[in-house]
Amino acid sequence: MLNTSDILETIRMIQDECLDIRTITMGISLLDCCTGDMSTLCDRVYDKITHCAEHLVATGEQIEAEYGIPIINKRISITPAAIMLAATNGGDPVQLARTLQRAAETTGVNFIGGFSALVHKGFSAGDRELIRAIPQAMAETTRLCSSVNVGSTKAGINMDAVAMMGKVIREAAVLTADAQCMGPAKLVVLCNAPEDNPFMAGAFHGVGEPDCEVHVGVSGPGVVRAAIEKYPDATFDELADIIKRTAFKITRMGQLVGTRASKMLGVPFGIVDLSLAPTPAIGDSVAHILEGMGLSVCGMHGTTAALALLNDAVKKGGVMASSSVGGLSGAFIPVSEDAGMIAAAESGVLSIEKLEAMTAVCSVGLDMIVLPGDTPASTISAIIADEAAIGMVNNKTTAVRVIPAIGKQSGESLEFGGLFGSGPVMAVRNESAEAFIARGGRIPAPMHSIRN
Amino acid sequence: MKAVITVIGHDTVGILHRVSGICSVNNANIIEVTQSVLQDLFAMFMLVDISKLDGDFSNLSNQLTALGEEMGLSIHTMHEDIFNSMHRI
A21 occurs within a structural domain: no
Q: Is A2 in Cβ contact with B83 (below 8 Å)?
A: yes
Number of A/B CB contacts below 8 angstroms equals: 64
A368 occurs within a structural domain: yes
Question: Residue A325 gets which letter from DSSP?
Answer: B
pLDDT (tens digit, 9 = 90+) per residue, A26-57? 999 999 999 999 999 999 999 999 999 999 99
Instruction: Compare CB distances from A67 to B6, B43, B78 and report the shortest one's residue.
Output: B78
d(C-alpha B49, C-alpha A219), whole Å: 30
Instruction: Compare CB distances from A7 to B79, B83, B85 and report the shortest one's residue.
Output: B83
Q: Environment class of residue A341 by beta-carbon count within 10 Å: exposed (0-12), middle (13-18) or buried (19+)?
A: buried
Model confidence at B5, pLDDT cuts 50, 70, 90, reads very high
Q: Environment class of residue A443 by beta-carbon count within 10 Å: exposed (0-12), middle (13-18) or buried (19+)?
A: middle
Model confidence at A174, pLDDT cuts 50, 70, 90, reads very high
Residue (of A249, A269, A362, A386) closest to A323 by Cα position: A269
d(C-alpha A33, C-alpha A20), whole Å: 34
| pLDDT confidence of residue A1 | 60
Q: Is B86 in Cβ contact with A8 (below 8 Å)?
A: no
| pLDDT confidence of residue A327 | 87
Q: Choose from A1, A12, A14, A64 for mutation: most chain B CBs within 10 A.
A: A1
pLDDT (tens digit, 9 = 90+) per residue, A305-358? 999 999 999 999 999 898 888 888 889 999 999 999 999 999 999 999 999 999
Kindly state whether B81 is in contact with chain A, defined as any CB-CB distance less than 8 angstroms. yes
A195 occurs within a structural domain: no
**What are the Cα distances from residue A76, in Å, to A24, A28, A147, A156, A216?**
8, 7, 14, 29, 11
Kindly state whether B87 is in contact with chain A, defined as any CB-CB distance less than 8 angstroms. yes
d(C-alpha A310, C-alpha A374), whole Å: 35
A305 occurs within a structural domain: yes
ipTM: 0.87
Residue (of A85, A87, A86, A119) closest to A99 by Cα position: A85
| pLDDT confidence of residue A15 | 84
The total domain count for chain A is 1
d(C-alpha B23, C-alpha A168), whole Å: 58
d(C-alpha A289, C-alpha B6), whole Å: 29
A84 occurs within a structural domain: no
d(C-alpha A282, C-alpha A346), whole Å: 17
Q: What is the pTM of this model?
A: 0.93
Model confidence at A163, pLDDT cuts 50, 70, 90, reads very high
Q: Is A256 in Cβ contact with B61 (below 8 Å)?
A: no
pLDDT, chain B, mean: 92
d(C-alpha A200, C-alpha A185), whole Å: 10
Listing DSSP states for A220-270 in one string gives -HHHHHHHHHT-TT--HHHHHHHHHHHHHHHHHHHHHHHHHHHHHHTS-EE
Question: Residue A319 gets which letter from DSSP?
Answer: H
| Contact present, A283 and A222 (Cβ < 8 Å) | yes
A227 occurs within a structural domain: yes
* Residue of higher predicted confidence among A400 and A219: A400
Kindly state whether B43 is in contact with chain A, defined as any CB-CB distance less than 8 angstroms. yes
Instruction: Give all strands of the β-sheet with B2-10 in edge-to-edge order.
Output: B29-38, B41-49, B2-10, B74-79
Beta strands in A284-394 (DSSP E): 366-372
A319 occurs within a structural domain: yes
A192 occurs within a structural domain: no
CATH of the domain at A237: 3.20.70.20
Give the closest-approach CA distance of B43 to chain A in angstroms: 10
| pLDDT confidence of residue B66 | 95
Task: Name the residue range of residue A424's domain.
Answer: 216-449
Please say if the pLDDT value at position A96 is more than 90: yes
Strands A71-78 and A111-118, bridge-based pairing? parallel
**What are the Cα distances from residue A372, in Å, to A168, A170, A354, A376, A423?**
16, 11, 18, 9, 11
- To the nearest whole percent, how much of chain A has pLDDT over 90? 87
Binding-site residues on chain A for chain B (CB distance < 8 A): 1-4, 6-11, 62, 65-69, 249, 252-253, 255-256, 260
Could you tell me the domains of chain B? 2-87 (3.30.70.260)
